[in-house]
Structure 1
Amino acid sequence: MTVTDSPTTAPFRPLGSPRVLAGISAGRALTWAEHRAIHGTPALRARAWLTDAARAVNLLGRGGASFPVVVKIEAMPLGGPMTVLVNGSEGEPASYKDRALMTVAPHLVIDGALVMAHALCASGVTIAVHDHLAHAALTRALAERPDAGTVVLAHTRTGFVAGEIRAVVTGLNTGLARPGGRRELPHDHGLAGRPSFASNVETFAQIAVLARLGPAGYASTGSRDEPGTSLVTLVGDVVQPGVLEVANGTPLADLLPGRPDAPVLVGGFHGTWVRSTAGLTIDRAALRASGSPLGAGVIARPLAGTCVLAEVAAVSHWLADQSAGQCGPCFFGLPALADDVRAFAAGRGSDAQLLRRAGQVRGRGACAHPDGAAQFMTSAIGALADDIAVHRAHGSCGRPPSSIFPLPRRTS
């Protein structure tokens, strides 16, 4: 299992004409002058304009839920104090697209936040971030800009569940980064109790691009159903691991040439294992309809000749350890599920028991962690049926464990 402290050192590249990665080379952050030469100054828009534009291009959030941006805008009040919150607390170990974006294109993220703050007449912008490289890049970027007087950086806890938006809000308000419940949403109760427009880093970068290009320009690339581009993190047996900007609608097979029957994880540690990427594209609605949502934007394929079950078991136990400890189905259920997955790797295991336990945790937590972790585990058992059969017959497959996923070092 690879252990990494700073995943933002991975390469960044576009597939086709770049937008959010425009001008990026060698992983160096663009200066304010370089950024303006490429993107100009922020294209500030009225609320009605931004609402109509987000609807016209079906702009979806680039976080795990892929929530429509227009719905978030319309949920914000039409007056009174409110804030904008940029969630840069990327807790998904296999994903580093947001940390990469903050590190190499911090000005574009700030642009998007200022565009939204102007449209909503918000009093200020808070960027929540824990990664030290991203924090340093944003600090330098804010110092360069003449228009960043209302933007503040806030340190957040490192952690998988602690990076969920409701946990971020609770952490900034109280110091305890735990989800406040599925019904407690930032547009109702955000920073300091005020309504907050909250989304992840890439969403704000896309908002900046939309405001500059307009709906027609934004929709000049991508698919009909989901115009624009997306950042994905490619992991494992891929042409080049790292952060890739692709046009929406790009077939997954284009990102994973060869080995058409190899298992692939779509979406990250809350994602879905599939045995074939045939017919799958970078299209959030289509992927969700197929049962394999894009989630955190991770596309991972284990290396040939390795034991995938061993790594699935290791990640499953790490996921169980990430529980915030406030919900019984998560605190007790995920360790039991992880033990079930370990049993499969040891040549035992019961499909019926795993599925029964997964049903007991889904939909019963204060956040989506138990649902996502259960999806990771149950889909792996389905996609790796041939591997499980070999383990059951021989006790193991005799291959070295897969080791493509970075897991942070424990701090306690």
Structure 2
Amino acid sequence: MTGIDSLIPRGTPSALGAAPGVTEDAGAYAATGGYREVIGADELLDRIDGGLRGRGGAGYPTAAKLRAVRDAGPRPVVVANGEEGEPGSVKDRWLLRARPHLVLDGLARAAEITGAERGYVYVSDTAAGERIRRALAERTPRLPCDVVDTPHTYVAGEETAVVRRINGGPALPTAKPPRPFEQGVGGAPTFVANVETLARIALIAAQPDRRRLTARATLVTLAGGGAEPLLAEVPYGGTLRTLARAQGTPEPAGALMGGLFGGLIGPDRLDLALDPDTLAAAGTALGCGAIRFLAPDECPVSLVSAALAHLAAESTRQCGICVAGTGSIRDAVGALTNGTADPGLLTRLQRWSTSLPGRGACGLLDAAAGTAGSLLRAFPHLVRAHLDAPCPGCAAPADSGRLTVPVPYVARRTVPRPRSAASPR
């Protein structure tokens, strides 16, 4: 991975921090304004209400979620969700490794808003877990906090799976309702938040007058196109084409958006602005901020085949409709890649893409159906060409490993602490 870059305007509070290449300790974090009591919990909630959305994928308004937990009942719980199921995303693991105190600060402030007296950090990444435990040992936390490890799977970060794992069960989704804000960890109302969401809560608390800039910046994992991946912090509003050039893919043939959740877009959509509402109106999504660009000579059918192979392998096999549906979609697109598709295949894919979403316990089946549907919409001429003759670009078997992005290396801090650093409380 080439590394980390900031494309946000000067003066914007940054989730990347002053020294992205090393883990930030408690003293360095405090020296830059962390853990300070600038505003109270009620005012902070009002500032968050100015536009901060969750960064885990769904983009739900953070203030509404905080209020729901606060108002749901006594003894709520707060959870930092650091399990990144999307293979193309690395931002959460990087934050936990490089800026653990920023995440813990945001978790403590979420607890103050909701009235929670206990918190959890939920991780599957060994290095991230070690850094968080070290950060908790560096200073006495305002919030009693446990670190809960989980095996890494695509669905382990789904919020009901998070609650189930913390409660001692497997990291598998459960039927809804109840939602975690109603009944979560130990039966208490529970605020489950993506770690970048918590990081931005802490940034708003430290610099409340710049809350809009903080809410309208986001971390993105950019990959594909034959170039090295890039983790970057960017403002809403720039185009996808600009991001592709920054990553090293100047003329992409399209992009796979939101990890495996936002589907494919063609080259005619690369001038869309990076903004959740704009992307949603165009039929795609920012999701967790993972964007994989297509190289000019890369076959999108092959890429979708790899994505569907990954999703089918990650099915928890709890829902019969998911097992059958995801497997059928995988096999159908696989037939396109190897030249064995029959004429009725496109009709079946179209039907599945509209009839299957919403029928599983989690979003895995939705991702499979949506990705297949987006292929039909974005590249109909290429799909039809695959019915007529085998595609040379699809000759290799579907390899889901091509979707995986490595986490940028983060060293343990060895530079001297600034003289002005405040002592950890």
Q: Is the TM value for this pair above 0.5? A: yes
Q: Which runs of 5+ in 1 are unaligned?
A: 1-8
Partner of 2:411: none
2:403 equivalent among 383, 400, 405: 405
Letter in 2 for 1:366: A
- Identify if the C-alpha distance between structure 1 residues 346 and 400 changes in structure 2 by more than 3 Å, giving closer, same or farther: closer
> 1:249: how far off?
1.6
Letter in 1 for 2:211: Y
Partner of 1:141: 135
Are residue 230 (structure 1) and residue 196 (structure 2) matched?
A: no
> 1:322: how far off?
1.6
2:391 equivalent among 393, 396, 408: 396
> 1:280: how far off?
1.5
Q: Which runs of 5+ in 2 are unaligned?
A: 407-425
Letter in 2 for 1:35: Y
1:11-410 residue pairs with structure 2 within 5 A?
Answer: 11-16=3-8, 17=10, 19-26=14-21, 28-43=22-37, 45-56=39-50, 58-78=51-71, 80-147=74-141, 150-214=144-208, 216-219=209-212, 221=213, 227-237=215-225, 240-257=228-245, 260=251, 262-276=253-267, 277-347=269-339, 348=341, 350-398=345-393, 404-406=402-404
- Identify if the C-alpha distance between structure 1 residues 96 and 353 changes in structure 2 by more than 3 Å, giving closer, same or farther: same
> 1:101: how far off?
0.9
> 1:45: how far off?
4.7
Asked whether the 8 Å contact 2:88–2:291 carries over to 1, the reply is no
CA distance in 2 between counterparts of 1:136 and 1:263 reads 38
Which one is further off, 130-139 or 144-153? 144-153
Partner of 2:420: none
CA distance in 1 between counterparts of 2:393 and 2:7 reads 37
SS in 2 for 1:39: coil
CA deviations over 1:365-408 (Å, ceiling 9, x no partner): 11222112211122123323343344333312357758741299
Asked whether the 8 Å contact 1:45–1:115 carries over to 2, the reply is no
Please, what TM-score do these two structures have when normalized by structure 2?
0.86
CA distance in 2 between counterparts of 1:250 and 1:244 reads 13
CA deviations over 1:229-263 (Å, ceiling 9, x no partner): 10010011276512110112222121113655612
Letter in 2 for 1:380: L
SS in 2 for 1:230: strand
CA distance in 1 between counterparts of 2:337 and 2:137 reads 51
CA distance in 1 between counterparts of 2:313 and 2:393 reads 28
SS in 1 for 2:186: helix
Asked whether the 8 Å contact 2:108–2:143 carries over to 1, the reply is no
- Identify if the C-alpha distance between structure 1 residues 112 and 238 changes in structure 2 by more than 3 Å, giving closer, same or farther: farther
Higher RCO by CA contacts (8 Å cutoff, separation 6 or greater): 2
CA distance in 1 between counterparts of 2:368 and 2:146 reads 33
CA distance in 2 between counterparts of 1:147 and 1:407 reads 32
- Identify if the C-alpha distance between structure 1 residues 288 and 196 changes in structure 2 by more than 3 Å, giving closer, same or farther: same
- Identify if the C-alpha distance between structure 1 residues 44 and 75 changes in structure 2 by more than 3 Å, giving closer, same or farther: farther
CA deviations over 1:2-36 (Å, ceiling 9, x no partner): xxxxxxx772221134601021333x211111111
CA deviations over 1:47-71 (Å, ceiling 9, x no partner): 4212211222x11000111000111
- Identify if the C-alpha distance between structure 1 residues 355 and 193 changes in structure 2 by more than 3 Å, giving closer, same or farther: same
CA distance in 1 between counterparts of 2:254 and 2:323 reads 29
Asked whether the 8 Å contact 1:89–1:158 carries over to 2, the reply is yes
CA distance in 2 between counterparts of 1:170 and 1:361 reads 25
- Identify if the C-alpha distance between structure 1 residues 202 and 328 changes in structure 2 by more than 3 Å, giving closer, same or farther: same
Letter in 1 for 2:293: R
Identity among equivalent pairs (%): 32
CA distance in 1 between counterparts of 2:5 and 2:155 reads 29
Letter in 2 for 1:379: S
Q: Provide the aligned length of Structure 1 versus Structure 2.
A: 392
Asked whether the 8 Å contact 1:10–1:241 carries over to 2, the reply is yes
> 1:359: how far off?
3.1
Please, what TM-score do these two structures have when normalized by structure 1?
0.88
CA distance in 1 between counterparts of 2:189 and 2:307 reads 36
Asked whether the 8 Å contact 2:89–2:288 carries over to 1, the reply is yes
- Identify if the C-alpha distance between structure 1 residues 381 and 344 changes in structure 2 by more than 3 Å, giving closer, same or farther: farther
Which one is further off, 150-159 or 359-368? 359-368
